[in-house]
Every structure is written in C-alpha cells, then in structure tokens.
C-alpha cells in the first residue's frame, strides 16, 4: 500500500483519491492501483503534455512529485493583416467563463492567398507559463512571382533559396534568386547575380531586372 501522494504544487489543489484510502490507527494508506487526481486553482492548469494523475504501484507512487500547475494563456494574438485566425495544438480550457490555453500549447498561423510568412519565419507561437512567445503573430507579406526573365542566352535562370512555396511558382518574402553565367561569360564589374524578394517593395524582386552576363 502507498502512503499519501506527494503534496500538490503551488497553485494546486490537494489530490482526490480513487478509490479512497483505508484509515487504521489514524494512518491512511492506498491500495495498489489507486489514482491520486490533481487539479489547479485560478488561472492555472497543467501543461499540455502533463498528466494530472499519479498511480500507486506496489507501495510507491509512479512519480515522486505532483504535477506542476502553470499559468494559462489567454487567446493568442489576432492574425496580422492578410492572415487567417490561428489554430491550436490543444483544446481550450474554460476558466471562470473565459477561454484559456495550457502551457506548451502552440498557435499556428497561415496567410491568405497571395501572401506568405517571410522566409525563415516560424508559423507558430507557444504558450509558456501564461505568456505567448513570441508575443506578436508572424507577419503575412506579399509573395513574389518568378524572378525577372534571363535577358540573353549567356545568363542562366536563377536558383532559389528557399525554393518556391509548395505547389506554386511563388516565393516568400526574403527569398534569394541567384543567377549564374554560362561558361566564358561573367557579370559586369559591380553587378551581382542576386535578386531578393520583397527587400524594397513587398511582392517585387530587387533589383527588378535580371543581371546581364557579357
């Protein structure tokens, strides 16, 4: 049999036992298989990946400490312009009539047609002990179509980093298109073979003409 389960964490309630224990001589013990079920107070809940129960197994609780109650987050920030409302990795919890999300929950953002997150920008924010991190949603920026056409046979069509958005021929803001020259040709002095999506004007390549190999 097990003795009392570990004391609840800060902002936690004493555990409820199922089944209840047996008291002999003022000492309460719990049979193998008993569950100690914990809950939290106020604007606190267990993180998304944390179980709220401990189990007595042959005289020992399966964990040495109670689950930790952490602050919950309010609804995630609204999407940026041209963005869609976020979706959540975990179901919401209702506390005092308000919609809240457990710590470790992620909110994932997407963009409307013709827009995308910038290259290398994460599409998620994470609830961390009461605060969304980052604290602002990712920005949706106009995408670019294919980079300017090559001007002559000496110029090789660009390669893109990162590549086109899956299933499209459009590119995220921040994408770099790199042109190369055919053998025996080169860019004029002071000219590079690089264009960048959205670096000056959203949705447009800069420079807006392809380099010429001569």
pLDDT truncated to tens, each residue of the chain (214 aa)?
999 999 999 999 999 999 999 999 999 999 999 999 999 999 999 999 999 999 999 999 999 999 999 999 999 999 999 999 999 999 999 999 999 999 999 999 999 999 999 998 999 999 999 999 999 999 999 999 999 988 888 888 899 999 999 999 999 999 999 999 999 999 988 888 999 999 999 999 999 999 889 8
Q: How many helices (H) and strands (E) does the chain have?
A: 0, 20
Tell me the Cα Rg of the chain: 28
> Is this prediction's pTM over 0.85?
no
Which CATH number is 72-142 given?
2.10.70.10
- In angstroms, the CA 66 to CA 128 distance is 19
Say what the pLDDT of residue 190 is.
86
Separation of alpha carbons 18 and 52, rounded Å: 13
The pairing of beta strand 106-108 with beta strand 124-128: antiparallel
Q: How far from 49 is each of 36, 66, 102, 112, 115, CA to CA, in Å? A: 18, 14, 9, 31, 33
Locate CATH 2.10.70.10 in the chain. 72-142
Confidence at residue 192, expressed as pLDDT on a 0 to 100 scale: 86
The span from the CA of 53 to the CA of 210, in Å, is 63
pLDDT at 206: 96
């Amino acid at each position: 049999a097990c003795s009392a389960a570990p004391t609840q964490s800060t902002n936690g309630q004493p555990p409820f036992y199922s089944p209840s224990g047996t008291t002999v001589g003022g000492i309460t013990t719990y049979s193998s298989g008993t569950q100690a079920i914990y809950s939290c107070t106020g604007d606190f809940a267990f993180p998304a990946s944390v179980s709220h129960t401990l189990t007595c197994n042959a005289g020992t609780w399966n964990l040495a400490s109670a689950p930790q109650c952490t602050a919950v987050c309010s609804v995630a920030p609204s999407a940026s312009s041209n963005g869609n409302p976020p979706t959540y990795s975990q179901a919401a919890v209702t506390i005092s009539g308000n919609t809240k999300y457990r710590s470790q929950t992620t909110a994932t953002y997407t963009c409307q047609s013709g827009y995308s997150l910038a290259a290398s920008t994460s599409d998620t924010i994470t609830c961390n002990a009461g605060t969304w991190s980052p604290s602002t949603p990712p920005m949706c920026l106009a995408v670019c179509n294919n980079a300017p056409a090559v001007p002559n046979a000496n110029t090789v069509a660009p390669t893109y980093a990162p590549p086109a958005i899956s299933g499209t021929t459009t590119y995220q803001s921040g994408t770099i298109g790199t042109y190369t020259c055919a053998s025996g040709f080169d860019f004029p002095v002071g000219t590079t073979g690089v264009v960048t999506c959205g670096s000056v004007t959203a949705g447009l390549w800069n420079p807006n003409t392809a380099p010429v190999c001569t």
